[in-house]
Amino acid sequence: MSRLASALLVWSLLASPAMAQVRLPATTPDTNPAHTAFRRAQRLVNDGNGGRGRFIVDSLVEAADPGSAAEAQALFWRATLAPTWGDAQRDYLRIMLEHERSPLAAESMFRLAQGELAGGDRGAAQRYFERIARETPEAPIRGEASLWHGRMLIERGARAVGCPVLREGRRRVTDGQVELVNQYDYLLQGCTADSTSTPRAPTIDPSVTTLWSVQIAALPTRREAEAVVKGLAARGYVGLRIDGETPPFRIRMGRYATREEAQRALAAYRTKEKGDGFVTPVPAR
């Protein structure tokens, strides 16, 4: 007998005759035994039988092969029914780190961000939102995550960064998602042309041979560098580029006429992103 079959047998033994007679909603038919087991666990938790319900999802986690889609799904279910935020956080983090290619990775990062916001740590929440945009840009949850991210940035006074995030997120929401559409449209009313105008590139004297740039990172692959650039661009940064044809691929921002201008840009970046970087001379082109 497989481990999953054994877990499902445990679930069937736990189910009382009264619970066995409960029908699942007709609008959500599902013949997958693991899904049915989770729904039974969810019903048990909602009815006050948390211990029995969580034993079912614990069994599903143990039965799943490590690294499998079944394990990611079981971890997500267990996090959903967790009795404390700490318990849920551990499983969401496992999905994010051990199942980064799973469709549930983005959903887990979103829930981690929501948890950090609830706990008052907006910096940690922002980092999760940014990871969603950078690592899972096409995830279905991206539209909702961008709404939360943009709203948080505007509440922090970073309207020039938050409004582009909202505009990008609104583009990913379909007209059928009425509630999200309404929330986006309400927030975007405050995004005037002045607050979201794209900064112009500085005018450079043609006789200048050396300029200054902010170097944000140096990564071993172009693909990684491109992902970071895409994420930063989505948050409103301009003048981004990747320098170098061989590793390391250097992510740089801006071409400033003076070192002082570049230092001011670096200071602004550090304040917003809580990240590192340095100013470096670059040839004028």
Closest CA to 170 of 186, 150, 184, 156: 184
- Token pair of 74, please? 């079981």
Q: What's the pLDDT at 206?
A: 53
Distances (CA, A) of 64 to 20, 40, 268: 24, 18, 46
One digit per residue, the tens of pLDDT, for the chain of length 285 reads 444 444 433 333 333 333 333 223 333 345 578 888 888 888 888 888 888 988 998 999 999 999 999 999 999 999 999 999 999 999 999 999 999 999 999 999 999 999 988 888 888 998 999 999 888 888 999 999 999 999 998 888 888 888 999 999 999 888 888 888 889 998 998 887 544 444 444 444 555 567 889 988 888 788 888 888 888 888 778 889 999 888 788 899 988 888 888 888 888 888 887 777 888 888 876
Q: What's the pLDDT at 155?
A: 86
- Computed from CA positions of residues 271, 272, 273, 278, in that sequence, does the dihedral angle turn out positive or negative? negative
Q: Quick check: do 115-196 and 210-283 share a fold?
A: no
Give the distance, in angstroms, between the CA of residue 20 and the centroid of all CA atoms in the same chain: 38
CATH of domain 115-196: 1.25.40
Q: What's the pLDDT at 207?
A: 52
CATH fold group of domain 210-283: Alpha-Beta Plaits (3.30.70)
pTM: 0.58
The rounded distance, in Å, linking the Cα atoms of 125 and 132 is 11
For the chain, give every domain's residue range. Answer: 3-84, 115-196, 210-283
Contact of 94 with 88, CB cutoff 8 Å: no
Q: Measured in Å, how far apart are the chain's first and last C-alpha atoms?
A: 68
- Token pair of 52, please? 């029995």
Write the DSSP assignment of 226-238 as a string of letters. HHHHHHHHHTT--
Q: What's the pLDDT at 31?
A: 54
Q: What's the pLDDT at 285?
A: 62
Q: What's the pLDDT at 199?
A: 44
